[in-house]
A and B are shown apart, each in its own frame.
Chain A
């Protein structure tokens, strides 16, 4: 374990040196260092972002014009399914775990994560899980094509490759659960003396809550896919009506996992944005305590709204009313967050470096996605919206200019800290503006398509939907291409940039991570830092 200090020379196998191991395998494959594992997670998720993104390009290319020009419908379905699985489990979630690994020990004054060896394991499961998942595309029976929701009986029509999908999901789940256990164990046990819970940066808070969500719901998904597996291969009929099962039961179980899952992807984003806005507004976060409680309320509510994904399955009226009211209620804590961000900016002294631009882009576009979510909550109208492109537009607004923009904001924000170099501000800004414009061209017309009656998950469409699909595809191609700028900026910053970053990096930055050098020492805090007003990030002054 790397919480060893210079006093513990006698425990010889633990690495307590201040430098990274020199061998490539020692450094990356056998690493127990939170920063190296964080880097692995982030690089892995960037790779997955591009794999999942190229699937999205295939989808948008096929939808560019009416008629089938490029792929067969079955392959199209494999693309939509894989795009979602890869982006959710391979890109967004591991990216957040990467941020957690890098930042949480530095933010709470710890030398490393609490369980470094398990940390190594939880990362190295992932490449195997995704190799397995992607390999199904090359099998005879093809990849999964029933949507990432894997609804039976359709998902059970898949061939032998279905077993690979289920095991891949199991492995991702184990990885996530181990990562979450590590986050919770670290936050609860490794804080520097004086770092009380209500002094923790909001990113740490949102991750603590996210980790509890993960531990609660990943086993549920594992249970659901296990039952699919036995239904498919061992003749059980959990979800087979002919054998006395209930296909709708799967949807209940899936969304009991699935709704918290979408908050798992967005809560850490709330945390990152809550770090960035105060820094560039040069003003403490408004309503810190309210932000913590709002996050906890959103997490709690996420467990009692799942059936709003199922308003059309034929539920009793009382059930529909309950889930509608509970879903509408989520707008309250989410609104509190948005108002607090705006209040943090209010009468600040703002500058607009790339992280701040992405954070502001997040607040605006996530709010648009939140408002369309409120519309979807209204059960009576959802009978029209459900399973149309309106839904596709909604969840892409909260996930792309939502979660993904927050990931980019966080990357630009902490990249100088991680590497010790400044990135190119000019290219960062270009990346922001091109992404922001194109993401709207990509997703906004999809609202119109959905309202006009275009169902989701179709490879071809009636000619009345042609105009907006073409506009959306053009936006998609620009958005996809503009992410190459992101890679360019990162590669330049890591390998080429000559402009050294200071420890503080940003004038308004506050918090423990900025007291360390840039790049920080291999072990973050070998001695616990003093916790006082100048080292606490944006906690509520009143506490």
Chain B
């Protein structure tokens, strides 16, 4: 009798703890962390959400039925109550029933699951195309019709705060780890095609509000599409392990009404044109150093570190290195084409020629490297064009 009581008390306490815990989180008054999938802002994400809720409730009902039967049996059919064991070993009827019913449930589930998948995967005619290239650990966005392109990296505030024992409380950083320097700007209510690929390892481009993620595979181009139904800022992250800073390559979408988007695009086209001019003119050493310091902080410091000391063994130091102090031609080649088999990117198609020239100038004259070299954007253009 005593044993039985202990058991019932223990079960009740466990059940109560777990139930209280779940209910607390599910209670409408709970204002803490989100616990369910987002409804999102596209037809795809809403379909996904609905399907998720349907399947979730089917699973809950199945679970409740099975566990109720089991716990009824646990309470009622126990030896301590003097219950005698029956000795039946099978029932063909029951076994057929509980094979057929799950099959029927699965068929019922398969119907909406199939239509949803077809809707999500089969792209309609799209109005614009954005190419997304993942590389360690940033995203590059190219607007195919507009010839706008830029790189989107973790915001510098987050990047500083996320260092090991940085001393900065993440709560004090706005949108910690989910903020970038250059968000992907898109028009609302426009059918957009994405071409998704990668430069080094596999990444996965995921904004939950859009309702899907798609792997970015080097050497292959995956297609996806969206039509975002309302303007706003939507955040996501790389979803496929891609190396040490996998957790630090967020995605931010800034969705604008169509007219505002047009204004933004116009501004960007001007910026691109200005960038072309910048590449053609001669820069002073001070200009290069100042720009180079910013480019280095945004692009290079993740691996080579802010002080140029690198991070052994994978990421070599630039301070006092044979490359940064050696022949400038060799250094340029490394930066333009990367180093195979390492995390060193081919930056040639990633950054503008002036940014590359500035970063080169900076690294050859910072951290105690005193080559005195000045690398002009024109030089980069010339070498790139062979």
Binding site for B on A (CB under 8 A): 65-74, 77, 140-142, 145-147, 151, 153-154, 156-157, 159, 241-242, 246-248, 281-290, 312-314, 317, 320-321, 324-325, 328-329, 331-332, 335-336, 338-339, 342-343, 345-352, 360, 363-364, 367-368, 371-372, 374-375, 378-381, 383-384, 386-388, 429, 433, 436-437, 440-441, 444-445, 448-449, 451-453, 455-468, 540-542
Given the contacts A282-B85, A348-B73, A380-B51, A387 and B240 also touching, CB distance less than 8 Å: yes
Given the contacts A67-B170, A247-B219, A367-B63, A349 and B84 also touching, CB distance less than 8 Å: yes
Query: Is B10's CB under 8 angstroms from A433's CB?
Result: yes
Given the contacts A73-B247, A321-B114, A455-B206, A437 and B120 also touching, CB distance less than 8 Å: no
Given the contacts A284-B89, A290-B95, A74 and B244 also touching, CB distance less than 8 Å: yes
Query: Is A448's CB under 8 angstroms from B25's CB?
Result: yes
Query: Is A364's CB under 8 angstroms from B241's CB?
Result: no
Distance of A478 from chain B, by nearest CB (Å)? 12
- 28 examples of A-B residue contacts, CB within 8 angstroms: A66-B177, A67-B161, A67-B162, A74-B244, A147-B241, A151-B201, A151-B202, A154-B242, A282-B85, A286-B89, A287-B89, A290-B90, A314-B220, A317-B117, A321-B117, A324-B114, A339-B98, A350-B74, A351-B80, A378-B51, A380-B116, A380-B117, A381-B51, A381-B116, A429-B10, A440-B21, A445-B25, A468-B33
Query: Is B240's CB under 8 angstroms from A69's CB?
Result: no
Query: Is A463's CB under 8 angstroms from B171's CB?
Result: yes
Q: A247-B217, A312-B215, A452-B36 are in contact. List 5 more A-B contacts (CB 8 A).
A: A242-B218, A335-B98, A349-B79, A440-B21, A466-B33
With both beta carbons as reference points, the residue of chain B lying nearest to A314 in the complex is identified as: B222
Given the contacts A241-B220, A286-B89, A540-B89, A159 and B313 also touching, CB distance less than 8 Å: yes
With both beta carbons as reference points, the residue of chain A lying nearest to B56 in the complex is identified as: A375
- Taken together as a complex, chains A and B put the C-alpha atoms of A288 and B48 apart, in Å, by 39
B385 at the interface (CB under 8 A from A): no
Query: Is A342's CB under 8 angstroms from B110's CB?
Result: no
B243 at the interface (CB under 8 A from A): yes
Within 8 A of A (CB), among B219-255: 219-220, 222-223, 236-248
Given the contacts A157-B343, A453-B38, A342 and B99 also touching, CB distance less than 8 Å: no
Binding site for A on B (CB under 8 A): 7, 10, 14, 17-18, 21-22, 25, 32-38, 45, 47-48, 51-52, 55-56, 59, 62-63, 66-67, 69-70, 73-74, 77-80, 83-91, 94-95, 98-99, 102-103, 106, 109-110, 113-114, 116-122, 161-166, 168-171, 175-178, 200-202, 204, 206, 208, 211-215, 217-220, 222-223, 236-248, 311-314, 341-343
- Taken together as a complex, chains A and B put the C-alpha atoms of A242 and B122 apart, in Å, by 29
Query: Is B70's CB under 8 angstroms from A345's CB?
Result: yes
Q: Is the interface of B mostly helix, strand, loop or mixed?
A: mixed
Q: Which of A142, A345, A445 has the most CB of B within 10 A?
A: A345
Query: Is A332's CB under 8 angstroms from B102's CB?
Result: yes
Distance of A175 from chain B, by nearest CB (Å)? 27
Query: Is B241's CB under 8 angstroms from A347's CB?
Result: no
With both beta carbons as reference points, the residue of chain B lying nearest to A74 in the complex is identified as: B244
- Taken together as a complex, chains A and B put the C-alpha atoms of A430 and B41 apart, in Å, by 48
- Taken together as a complex, chains A and B put the C-alpha atoms of A456 and B242 apart, in Å, by 12
Given the contacts A77-B241, A387-B213, A375 and B52 also touching, CB distance less than 8 Å: yes
Report chain B residues within 8 Å CB of A151: 201-202, 240-241
- How many A-B residue pairs lie within 8 Å, measured between CB atoms? 331
Query: Is A541's CB under 8 angstroms from B89's CB?
Result: yes
With both beta carbons as reference points, the residue of chain A lying nearest to B118 in the complex is identified as: A317
Report chain B residues within 8 Å CB of A242: 218-219
- Taken together as a complex, chains A and B put the C-alpha atoms of A33 and B328 apart, in Å, by 69
With both beta carbons as reference points, the residue of chain B lying nearest to A459 in the complex is identified as: B247
- Taken together as a complex, chains A and B put the C-alpha atoms of A69 and B102 apart, in Å, by 47
- Taken together as a complex, chains A and B put the C-alpha atoms of A228 and B102 apart, in Å, by 41
Query: Is B33's CB under 8 angstroms from A153's CB?
Result: no
Query: Is A332's CB under 8 angstroms from B99's CB?
Result: yes
With both beta carbons as reference points, the residue of chain B lying nearest to A436 in the complex is identified as: B14
Query: Is B62's CB under 8 angstroms from A342's CB?
Result: no
Query: Is A67's CB under 8 angstroms from B80's CB?
Result: no
Query: Is B201's CB under 8 angstroms from A153's CB?
Result: yes
Report chain A residues within 8 Å CB of B88: 283, 286, 347
Query: Is B79's CB under 8 angstroms from A282's CB?
Result: yes
- Taken together as a complex, chains A and B put the C-alpha atoms of A147 and B213 apart, in Å, by 19
Query: Is A140's CB under 8 angstroms from B175's CB?
Result: no
- Taken together as a complex, chains A and B put the C-alpha atoms of A66 and B33 apart, in Å, by 14
With both beta carbons as reference points, the residue of chain A lying nearest to B59 in the complex is identified as: A371
Query: Is B89's CB under 8 angstroms from A314's CB?
Result: no
The 3 closest A-B pairs by CB, nearest first: A241-B219, A458-B247, A314-B222
Report chain B residues within 8 Å CB of A387: 204, 206, 213, 239-240
Query: Is A312's CB under 8 angstroms from B314's CB?
Result: no
Distance of B26 from chain A, by nearest CB (Å)? 10
Given the contacts A281-B85, A467-B32, A159 and B176 also touching, CB distance less than 8 Å: no
Report chain A residues within 8 Å CB of B89: 284-288, 540-542
Distance of A63 from chain B, by nearest CB (Å)? 11
Given the contacts A67-B166, A342-B66, A347-B85, A154 and B95 also touching, CB distance less than 8 Å: no
Report chain B residues within 8 Å CB of A437: 14, 17-18
Given the contacts A67-B162, A325-B110, A462-B177, A452 and B170 also touching, CB distance less than 8 Å: no
Distance of A316 from chain B, by nearest CB (Å)? 9
Report chain B residues within 8 Å CB of A153: 200-202, 218
Query: Is A73's CB under 8 angstroms from B106's CB?
Result: no
Distance of B299 from chain A, by nearest CB (Å)? 18
